[in-house]
Amino acid sequence: MATRFEESGSADEDAVVAEINITPLTDIFLVLLVIFMVTSTAAIDAAMADARGLRVDLPKASGTGHISRGDPVLTVASDGKLQLDGKPITPGEVRAKIEQALRDSGSDRVVIRADKAALFGRAVEIMGEARKAGAKSIGVVAAPAEGE
């Protein structure tokens, strides 16, 4: 009775190839890395520019402050659109929505993110409404000044 190796002529012909060519695998990983880098950068840019829903160009100021996570954030866009914690609101419902947000958060502070092109009078009106709604303090978000 002949063995399999004797029939085929040599043992090397039937041996299992134990090598893996990793060049194509490396190419795939590099392509995936580039795709991940591009999409994550775009996602971070979009999140930073549009953190609460409306795109605002914050004014620059020196000094630093602290915003608690639970504080309601009222965003005022340059065109006058308003959002409270990322949800659109109308000027007529500012007071009621702030009252509700203060109750829900347990905070006594409202943070205002206003575009630098927004009218100052509009921002003052909103601050007055926030005070009437029960806010004990009002914070204003600004971008860091050059060199800080």
Q: What is the CATH number for 123?
A: 3.30.420.270
Cβ pair 62, 100 in contact under 8 A: no
pLDDT of residue 14 exceeding 70, the answer is no
Residues 2 and 20: their CA atoms lie apart, in Å, by: 32
Cβ pair 91, 126 in contact under 8 A: no
135 shares its domain with 67: yes
Confidence at residue 39, expressed as pLDDT on a 0 to 100 scale:
85
Domain extent at residue 24:
12-49
Query: Does residue 2 belong to any structural domain of this protein?
Result: no
Q: What is the pTM of this model?
A: 0.55
Q: What is the DSSP string of 2-59?
A: --HHHHHS-HHHHSPP-----HHHHHHHHHHHHHHHHHHHHHHHHHHHTTTSS---PP
pLDDT tens digits for range 47-60: 555 455 667 667 66
pLDDT of residue 9 exceeding 70, the answer is no
Question: First CA to last CA across the chain, in angstroms?
Answer: 87
The better pLDDT of the pair 9, 38 is held by: 38
φ, ψ for residue 91 (rounded to 5)? Answer: -60, -30
Q: Which of helix, strand or coil describes residue 64? A: coil
pLDDT tens digits for range 73-120: 888 887 878 888 888 888 888 888 888 888 888 888 888 888 777 777
Query: Does residue 1 belong to any structural domain of this protein?
Result: no
Percent of the chain topping pLDDT 70: 70
70 shares its domain with 139: yes
Confidence at residue 35, expressed as pLDDT on a 0 to 100 scale:
92
Query: Does residue 55 belong to any structural domain of this protein?
Result: no
Give 37's pLDDT tier (boundaries 50, 70, 90): confident
Domains in the chain, number: 2
Please give the structure tokens belonging to residue 96.
């009621």
Confidence at residue 30, expressed as pLDDT on a 0 to 100 scale:
93
